[in-house]
Amino acid sequence: MSAIDQLFDRLRQSGRKAFMPFVTAGDPDLEFTADVLRTLVEHGSDMCELGIPYSDPIADGPVIQASYTRSLGKQIKVDEILQAIGRLTPQLTAPIVTMVSYSIVYRRGLEAYIAEAKAAGVAGAIVPDLPVEESGPLAEICRREDFSLIQLITPTTPRDRALRIAQQTTGFIYYVSVTGITGERQELPPEIVDNVAWLREQTSLPICIGFGISRPEHVRMLSPVADGLIVGSAIVRHVASAAEKPRQQVLAEIGDYVEELLAAMER
């Protein structure tokens, strides 16, 4: 049983949902990324997603895209990111998954990337640009290595294709709440609830919802139907403010924000 399977098993037994923030690796530097991840976990996050910067946006909105650009501007390498994760994961009580382009995985070699990520203590990978038709080889390696391969289903995914994606997914399904790119939104479409309810009847995998979630009202709306909620752009925006504010202040603001959303989730 993978670390992610164990996490959701524990959460299910306690009647809780997973809170899963996203952070860009290396924005503004790897030292602060580690501080942010520690803060997120200390304030109650159940799992953290770490974005591996990539030059071509993959459904990334302006906030996350800008964070990738800043990190790439520092010429931070994948090896450095994995080394930093390896130093950090023994200190954390929550698993880390990478959000990584398949181009990076393919270039390093499927076996090699999974081995390197596992050695760094990473529990799984979200590979948003890997089509289900081409996911077989990576899915096979991940199952053999007990390394979760998390794949995305969107509101426009045909239902027969959604079933194929679910069959190739391990850990949890990443359900995209909106059609479009990442980013904070005022409102989320009400049909999410029905879409996730249908998907839940088709699979035993946990279903976690992401894209656009940033407000307590979003959390209250989606918690009853989701196994976990993913918050990205709002966290990344807080991190970006470290260019203008003392870092300790930014960390305190991130901690307060996480606690606000967790309080809404628990209610």
CATH of residue 29's domain is 3.20.20.70
For the chain, percent of residues with pLDDT exceeding 90: 78
Q: Count CA atoms closer than 13 A to 52's CA, side-chain side.
A: 27
Contact 102, 64 (CB under 8 A): no
Any domain includes 46: yes
What pLDDT score does 118 carry? Answer: 97
Contact 53, 82 (CB under 8 A): no
Calculate mean pLDDT across residues 243-250. Answer: 96
Indicate which residues carry an active-site annotation. 49, 60
Any domain includes 41: yes
What pLDDT score does 59 carry? Answer: 58
Any domain includes 218: yes
Task: Give the count of domains, the chain.
Answer: 1
Any domain includes 267: no
Residue ranges making up the domain that contains 77: 3-262
Q: Which of 13-22, 44-53, 204-213 has the lowest mean pLDDT?
A: 204-213
Put simply, whether the predicted model's pTM sits higher than 0.95 gets the answer no
Calculate mean pLDDT across residues 190-200. Answer: 83
State how beta strands 48-51 and 18-24 pair.
parallel
Give the Å distances, CA to CA, from 197 to 175, 190, 207, 252, 267: 11, 12, 10, 36, 20
